[in-house]
Structure 1
Amino acid sequence: MKILRAAGYRSMPWKNGGGVTTEIAVSPAGAGLEDFDWRVSMARVEGSGPFSQFAGVDRTLAVLEGEGIVLDIAGRRPSPVTRLTAPLSFPADMPTAAALIGGPITDLNVMTRRSRMTHTVERLAVSAPVEIKTRARMTLILCLNGEITVPGTEPVRLGPLDTLLPGSDTASLLIQPVHDSTLFVIRIDSISGND
């Protein structure tokens, strides 16, 4: 089990130079924007404009803070993403333009290399103990707000924007909220034959 504290996340410029992203975790460790297998990050979006494109990558976006954003993905019907909607998955290599709904936002980005990995992102509002299945190759639990604990021989406590990586040998975790919390559960798996 590994804990990533919000204070230790790494910040870097966007691929298109239009802002700054905060990297939570990446695999392989130290990988750049062109050679990651998977990447989880947060970004502050201050204005409308085009998204960076990533060849061969699938992406999921969720809004953490702010009113929301409307994505125009390759000319399809625009998709609004807010703190109330489900995270939105789309191909990161399609031309995508974003329009802010009501001012700047902070978003969560999960990206996986399509030829090697898949992912899902789930938002959970937690006000009572809950068991989270962690059978994926890699599971990350991001505590958006509030505080949670994970009981055990050495209990773990997570505060806002801290992330827990349970490890692949853990089938499930009991999460106990200290205060009402919102969690994002990110599950990443290898495509068959790529282990």
Structure 2
Amino acid sequence: MTVLIPFAGLSPVPWKNGGGSTTEIAIGPPDSGFEDFDWRVSLATIEKDGAFSSFPGVDRTLALVEGHGMTLEIDGEPLMVTDTEPVAAFDGSSQVIARLGRGASTDFNAMTRSERCYHTFGRRRLSGGSTFVARADVTVLFLAEGDVLELRNENERIGLVRFDAVVLEPGSVWKLEAGQGMIYIVDVWYHQDEEDEEHYE
């Protein structure tokens, strides 16, 4: 089932340390929380230098959306997140400290629990029409740049504005229509258990 997630209907949650806020975009399973999610995507605004929360057993990807970026200290090693190098991937159990450069930073975040699933992250520049195929068990598209994006196929027509997201049905094929823009793509695959592997042999 295709699920449109309008950003205007979401609410940011301030961090306890006062250093920013997070807006959860989508989570799986839908009734899960921090302790038991399989996957989660969100948008965070970092307003002050500070440490990230620890998520043992979780793989994370962070991508710059707005602002001048930051330096992430990941287990003591610096990693620059900038307009030219906007993506960082790291283990959720790592000690991560964000140090801002010139003002607040807004970042897209993807997380998957490694014992259950894994994810890949991609960026696609939009200009006019293109085709997109949802190949993963879960595919999330997020409109990071641009005013409007239209997705359509034989059965559905969906409109997104900036920061909206959509969860696509596995195997679905879409025509994308936009002016200038950028989408972030999170693909989530679940690990096959032994019974499934035996079944497919």
Specify if TM > 0.5.
yes
Q: Measure the CA separation in 2 of the matches of 1:190 and 1:120.
A: 12
Match of residue 156 from structure 1: 158
1:145 aligns with 2:145: yes
Q: Measure the CA separation in 1 of the matches of 2:72 and 2:133.
A: 31
Match of residue 81 from structure 2: 81
**1:13-52 counterparts in 2 under 5 A?**
13-14=14-15, 18-52=19-53
Q: Give the drift of 1:38.
A: 0.6
Match of residue 199 from structure 2: none
Q: Measure the CA separation in 2 of the matches of 1:15 and 1:166.
A: 33
**17-26 or 159-168, which deviates more:** 17-26
Alignment check: 8 A CA contact 2:129 2:177 kept: yes
Alignment check: 8 A CA contact 1:62 1:82 kept: no
**TM-score w.r.t. structure 1 length?**
0.91
Match of residue 168 from structure 2: 166
Q: Measure the CA separation in 1 of the matches of 2:171 and 2:53.
A: 35
**Compared with structure 1, are the counterparts of its residues 161 and 40 closer, same or farther at alpha carbon in structure 2 (3 Å cutoff)?**
same
**Compared with structure 1, are the counterparts of its residues 119 and 192 closer, same or farther at alpha carbon in structure 2 (3 Å cutoff)?**
same
Match of residue 114 from structure 2: 114
Alignment check: 8 A CA contact 1:129 1:175 kept: yes
Q: Measure the CA separation in 1 of the matches of 2:79 and 2:29.
A: 31
| Aligned AA (2:140) | L
**1:7-18 counterparts in 2 under 5 A?**
7-14=8-15, 18=19
Identity among equivalent positions (%) equals 36
Q: Measure the CA separation in 2 of the matches of 1:18 and 1:36.
A: 24
Which runs of 5 or more structure 2 residues have no equivalent in the other structure?
Answer: 197-201
Alignment check: 8 A CA contact 2:19 2:47 kept: no
Which runs of 5 or more structure 1 residues have no equivalent in the other structure?
Answer: none
Q: Measure the CA separation in 1 of the matches of 2:171 and 2:138.
A: 10
Residue by residue, what CA displacement relative to the aligned partner does 1:50-106 show, whole Å, maximum 9, x if unpaired?
111111111000010000011111122x11112332421100111111111211011
| Aligned AA (1:124) | R
**79-88 or 116-125, which deviates more:** 79-88
Q: Give the drift of 1:135.
A: 0.8
| Aligned AA (2:143) | C
Give the number of aligned pairs: 192
**147-156 or 42-51, which deviates more:** 147-156
Q: Give the drift of 1:18.
A: 3.9
Indicate the RMSD between aligned Cα atoms, in angstroms: 1.8
**1:33-72 counterparts in 2 under 5 A?**
33-72=34-73
**TM-score w.r.t. structure 2 length?**
0.88
Q: Measure the CA separation in 2 of the matches of 1:145 and 1:5.
A: 15
Rg larger in structure = 2
